[in-house]
Structure 1
Amino acid sequence: MKPKPYLYLLTSMYVAGIIGLNINATAEFFRFLTPFNLLASCGILLYFHKEWNRNFLIFITLTLLIGYFIEVVGVKTGMIFGEYQYETTLGFKILNVPPVIGLNWLLLVYCVGSSFCRVTKPIYFKVIYGALLMTMFDFLAEPIAIRLNMWSWQNTLPPLQNYVGWFITSAFLLTLFHSLKFRKDNPIALWLLILQICFFGIQSLIF
């Protein structure tokens, strides 16, 4: 299956989201669609994965579980990312955390890891630069996520602790990605990462 039609589909989805979320009459509906957009994005990304072996299934399972439960611990204790809570935009919650947040970690780790997979550098280089990119992405996304009612912070803005937690968690999951033996190139990954960055970047300009 050629990726180009899916690249057009993903682009249309994110462009529609940018427009729809900034029109008062449609903003609530597009906020409701947010978790479905994330599910569709992750589904298309995994559809183009080329080697579903045991190691890849281990990576998916561990990333989903770690990504979700670290948020559960974070919300409950405030010790990992700071004092925050999830709101309504990301859908229903279990243990005060929407399960779709695990997919968000999987999507970002996979896209960043795949984008660095052809770099001829040691694993630690890919992990450090990938974790820095993910932390910078979170810094870009935070104000927009708050405005879109995805989550909120006790002191309005996230503390430095949040970005330290993001870097450490990202580095651990990227180490998992690069260490396990499975095919890592994906024709959708880099484009999807660019779309995510553009989505939050354009929203920041509009905001």
Structure 2
Amino acid sequence: MPDTTQTYQPAIPLQERLKPYAFSIALGVLAIFHAVGFWGLMFSGEPEKFQRLTPMNLLLTNFLLFSFHRRWNVAFILFAVAIMAAGFFAEVLGIHTGLLFGDYAYGESLGIKVLDVPLLIGLNWLMLVYTSGHLVNMVQLHWLAKAALAALLMVGLDFFLEPVAVAFDFWDWHGGHIPWSNYTGWLGLSFLFQLYFQKAPIYKHNRLAPYVYLVQAVFFISIWTLL
């Protein structure tokens, strides 16, 4: 009689089957959400509806980004909390004193505020520090030069972000003029944060991080060109 016995092979969980495609899926979701946001803000005729989705977009972006981070050790958690807290309280100082950045106020598009600053701002600082830091780590430079270059990348993104932010009620500047103190303040604070990133004993090989920065840059530059 022929041997009809078969070797038992356990079913592979869906999570394991999708794992090889996780990066492509995450990048696709990231691109689609930003493309929909771009269309909604610029061409839907109802930009207010899409402005209200900004917090969800930011949370989704960070979820995808940090799902690719490895080694969630004490050093990384300390780094993340420190950057979020420092970024948030720098904004609180800026809002209430005019120091660091200039005289500005947040609108309603970024969600719940504490001390007149949206809670998500700290998370946004972390995302920008983390992604720009990863991007410059792709080139061979001294760590100090990397910190300076990453800070310049952050300021460069902010240059295009500022007019977009004003147009869609993220924040507004007194007198409607974006002062140079905003960019110098961003540069100084970003450089300090990047020094921390470069020297922190954290894992710095998140393959999605450079793409998050690039998608953000394409998104804001594209809107900026149409304003």
Interval containing the TM-score (normalised by the shorter chain): over 0.9
Backbone CA RMSD of aligned residues: 1.0
C-alpha distance in 1, partners of 2:138/2:159?
A: 26
Instruction: Report matched runs for 1:152-171 at 5 Å.
Output: 152-171=172-191
Deviations 1:8-54 (A, max 9, x none): 00000000000011235431111000011001101111110012111
Aligned with residue 7 of structure 1, among 27, 38, 50: 27
Deviation (angstroms), 1:118: 3.4
C-alpha distance in 2, partners of 1:65/1:36?
A: 20
Return the TM-score normalized by structure 2.
Answer: 0.89
Deviation (angstroms), 1:55: 1.0
2:12 is matched with none
Aligned with residue 54 of structure 1, among 55, 67, 74: 74
Aligned with residue 38 of structure 2, among 15, 18, 27: 18
Deviations 1:105-147 (A, max 9, x none): 0111000011122332211100111111111111111101100
Contact 1:115 1:185 in 2 (8 A): no
* 2:101 is equivalent to residue 78 of structure 1: no
Number of residue pairs the alignment of both structures matches: 207
Structure 2 runs not aligned, ≥5 long = 1-18
**Secondary structure at 2:105 match in 1:** strand
Return the TM-score normalized by structure 1.
Answer: 0.97
Aligned with residue 115 of structure 2, among 95, 98, 116: 95
Which 4+ runs in 1 deviate beyond 4 A?
none
**Secondary structure at 1:45 match in 2:** helix
1:121 is matched with 141
- Which structure has the higher relative contact order (CA within 8 Å, separation 6+)? 1
1:179 is matched with 199
Identity of aligned residues (%): 35
**Secondary structure at 1:85 match in 2:** strand
